[in-house]
Amino acid sequence: MDFNEFIDKHLKRENRAKIIGRYYPSEIGGCIRKTWFSYRLPKETDKNTAKVFKAGEMLHEFISEVIKSEKNPEIELVSSEIPVKIETGDFVISGRIDNLMLVKVDEKQYLVEVKSCKFLPNEAKEDNVMQLQLYMHAIGIHDGIVLYIKKDDLQTKSFEFRYDKAMVKDVLERFDILHHTLISQKMPYAEAKREPGKEWMCDFCLWREECDIIEEENKEKYQK
């Protein structure tokens, strides 16, 4: 029996076309060009990515269990899988966030964004912080935590943040860039290729080949 095949079949999801003008909070922290491709050239999620997502969901459920446990009375789980919605004049940002929870400690509420990882980072990743700031803006809770949980031994590391109005403004501007480049069909620049520290995003991109071809064509144009 091939249990890998069983798992792949179980995790396979129907690939639904995205709607321009309706965006998901979690997709703006990465490369905008990648997100642009996901609307203009949709592809089925590969098997390994689906497994990574599922493992993340399972660890989120585990953290929920830990917080709800009678053994940890000092912390209270107020809510999990929180819906987020932000409406602007041109588009809507919405979604039910399955890696987000609202907890209470000493009568103070925190939004906790749970991220699974292979190695615990020394600092929170920029894209994760951007997402958390957007969630705090949408929900109105101005204290947040990015919680990393290591997949192999369940060790954790957390980083606390206060609501940052300037960062939220930057995040909303990124959505505005995404929206208007999608409407105009003008492709945004490849920030993962061109900005230091973001090159790793290309390793996990379904549209890397298409992006490489476009960048090579643009390079030839500049040389002529």
Which of these, 53, 197, 191, 196, lies nearest to 121 by C-alpha position? 197
Which of these, 30, 46, 26, 59, lies nearest to 133 by C-alpha position? 26
Which of 52-61, 81-90, 152-161, 213-222 shows the lowest mean pLDDT across its residues? 213-222
Count of alpha carbons within 13 Å of 184, Cβ hemisphere only? 9
Asked whether the predicted pLDDT for residue 75 surpasses 80, the reply is: yes
Residue type, position 61, single letter: E
Asked whether the predicted pLDDT for residue 10 surpasses 50, the reply is: yes
Asked whether the predicted pLDDT for residue 221 surpasses 60, the reply is: no
What percentage of the chain exceeds 70 in pLDDT? Answer: 96
pTM to 2 decimal places: 0.88
CB 128 within 8 A of CB 166: no
CB 118 within 8 A of CB 90: no
User: What are the residue boundaries of the structural domains of the chain, listed by start?
Assistant: 17-167+177-216
Which of these, 30, 27, 78, 45, lies nearest to 199 by C-alpha position? 30
- The per-residue pLDDT for 219 is 65
Which residue(s) pair with 144 in the sheet?
111, 161
Q: 17-167+177-216 has which CATH code?
A: 3.90.320.10
